[in-house]
Structures are given as C-alpha cells and as structure tokens.
Structure 1
C-alpha cells in the first residue's frame, strides 16, 4: 500500500514522544486529515480513469456492425427477401387450314390471356407466326384472326406487335405472348435453433417467413415490389365536383330533430 508523502514529517514515532495530551491530540487530528485528503485525491483519479475507460468502450461500440450473421439481420425483409423476376406467358393457337376463323375454344383461351394481361401484363402483346413452310398463307390468316380477337377483347392495335419464327419441323402454331412479373420468397420451415432463439428473445431463421410468403402470393402486380408505379397528377376539377354537389341547395336536407328520427322520411300528421 502506498504511503502519503507526509509520513516523512509526521509518523507514528512522533506520536510516541512524551508530549502533552493537547499536542498529541493535535497530531492525531492532523494525521487523520492528511489520510482523508490522500484518499480523496486517489478516488478522484480513479473516477477519471473509469470515465476514460467508459468513453473508450462507447467509441468501440459505435464501430461494431449492426449484425454479425444471417440470423441477426436487422429486418425480416433482409432475412427473407422477395425476388421479382420477369416471366413470359404464352398461348399457342393451332393453325387449321380447313377452318375459317378461330374456334370457340381458341377464342375463350385468348379471352383468358387478355384478362391475365390486364392484371399483370407489361409491354406489348406479341403475335408470332411461323414462316418458311408450305402453309405460310394459313399462318398469316390465323395471326390476323388472333390480332382481330385481341382487339375485340379490348386490346388496342398499338399494343399488339407482330413477329415470326422458323418452324424447322416443329408443329406450326401462332404464339401469343406477353411479359409479366413473378414474386418469389424464400422457403419456410427452417426450425433449427428456434427454441434457443425464443428463450433468448432473438429472431430465429423461420421468423417472418410466412408473412413474406403471403405478401409475395397476394400482391396484385409483383413489379410494384421492385419499382413503384407512377401516379397521375390530381385533377382538381374532379376533386371539387363532389364538394360542390354537397353544397348545392338541392342536396341540403333539414337534419333537425331527435337522434333516432334523423334521416327518416317525414310522417304526415294527418
């Protein structure tokens, strides 16, 4: 144990000298005061050292990453990302030289294709006809009938484009196709370490997976998950029309009376 520097001037030997009681009491009080002052100075230095250590720990903590593994991701979307990919949806329309026009079954299939295109389709609808065969005229006629059917079901001709392909011995069909987006989430059912994570109040690998699966399955247009749609500017005249109609004298009704009679038709007292 370190000794205070005043021991060189005041020691226990000085207390043993044959002096009076008052002098000896003064010496004891002086020794006690010096001891108290020494330990106060020492505790102040210890407090300063502790504050410096705490500041160093806080600075080190600021440089620590938010998570250090896949099971400690910051959000559920990081742990179970949803991938959005393009997919080509197509319909093959058989070429029948003996028939004139499309059959009812083919028209029903085209109608279903148009419904799917309006829901999730992006870009134009492509009508691809085979070339380099002996039935090029029949293929061109079938492609024209398909374009006419698409227009009858509500698709503008400007949204329909044509193309061709070399049949090369394959069955000769007219292919109607468009591009759509598909959302896919990570697979669920990973229960490894779930019990330990729950006991420690930490996220486990399967946490939030069902929610992400439902979002990927229920979203109307998966492309919105990758890129939001642009909104049209607000029409002020359309927004003001309901307000003007509500303020017109013709639509004002005298709503006075008891609570249970408001809104009812007036009853003729006669």
Structure 2
C-alpha cells in the first residue's frame, strides 16, 4: 500500500525549507562548474543543489543538529523512519499537530519522524526555533499533507549513502575542501528590509558579522583552488563584500514575508570564483 515497486521516483528534496532552491535550479545550471571532485554544501537545508548535481562524493553539513539527524536517519534506516511517518499520517489533525510540536523525543528516529511530520504540516514549511531551541511554528492549512512518501524517501536514501553528513558550522569546510572541489554556500540571506529580517531558522542567528566571516572563508577557499558558488541577497552590502568576484542576478520568488503584498519576485545574487 505504501510502496509501488513499479513506480520509479527520482531523488529530490523531501523537506520544504525556507529559502530552498528547487525553483531556481534552472537558472543556476549555466553557472555550475563542469568538473569537480568532492561536493560540499555547508548550509544544507532542503539540499536542492545536491539533489540536482547528485555528485558521487559529497560532504553535507549544517549547524542545525535536528536537520542533520533527519538526513542521517533517511540514509541509515529509511524503512523504520517510513513506519513512524505512516503512523503520523494516520493520526494527523490539529490536536495531534500541537501535541507532536510539544514532544521531546530521545531516539534519533523519533526525532527525525517528528521533524518531517512538522515540516509537512506546519505553516509554509518554515523551520523556526525560539531561544530555547523549541520548534514554535503554527499549523498550516493543508487538506491532505504528504507526510509519508516512501518511494521518495527510499530514492533519497540511496543517493545519500555515498555522502558524509555532519553537524558543523560553515568554517569547517576550510579543513576539508581541496583544490578542484566544489563548495556551494546558501546562507541565511542578508535582510534587505525590516520585514525580511529573518536570519535565524534555528536558535543560531546569522548576523552581519557572520556574513563577513563567510566572505573570508570564500576568499580562503579561493586561494586554495576550491571552486565556490554562493547565493545571497542582491543588495549593496553583499555586492560590496564580493566586489572582487564575478556575480550574476537571479530572479527568485519570495514566499515568506509578514506582509502578503510583499511576496513575489525579487532579485538575488549568485557569486562565483571561477
């Protein structure tokens, strides 16, 4: 019932994620390097670029331990995870959502299933934590949320098996990336207005200081011969930071804003060192 063996599902992002790049991949394709060795994605999120490139060797990381736990569980024990998600699918309603949101599970699989469940049923698929690290997004208005997607999860599990997945900050890439590797940075974007000042998808804020530190990492990787691509807001601050590198404008759709009238097309910046 949960799985149709005749059905082939290509691996793709299985989480909805604020700032996810699935809709932008078509615009990114001309800018990806033609050849590289190991692929690194230090701000993993939904992993849209990874799932497009499907590199034979990858190091996927994020500072959010809950997110990394989900990827590890999908890779290492996808069948047990599917069983838990099927139970959540059966029980889902408003009361169950808020009960699940309040839970503090101890096992890796239970934590992973909880995050996927909340991600598929919360408002806009937005991952947000308060200062205590507790998920605090209200329930979304979905008629039939796809909480359990066995075929997709199995295909994702297959392609993740050749990847190293770890909790780490973006500066850690300096320890591992070598000449002719490829690093893609997709940090929380620099806010271009007070209403877009949303830089903390977790309790770890990404400040202006962090943006400058990221630029320094970009420069150091460049000096090592690593190929680097970065996406960020198209604004004076980011353009000035990366003024020594080629860049291109990307037209994106803004889905998260406190004012509905301000959601829509917006320019983003794609920066490269090659």
TM-score range, shorter chain: under 0.3
* TM norm structure 1: 0.21
* TM norm structure 2: 0.21
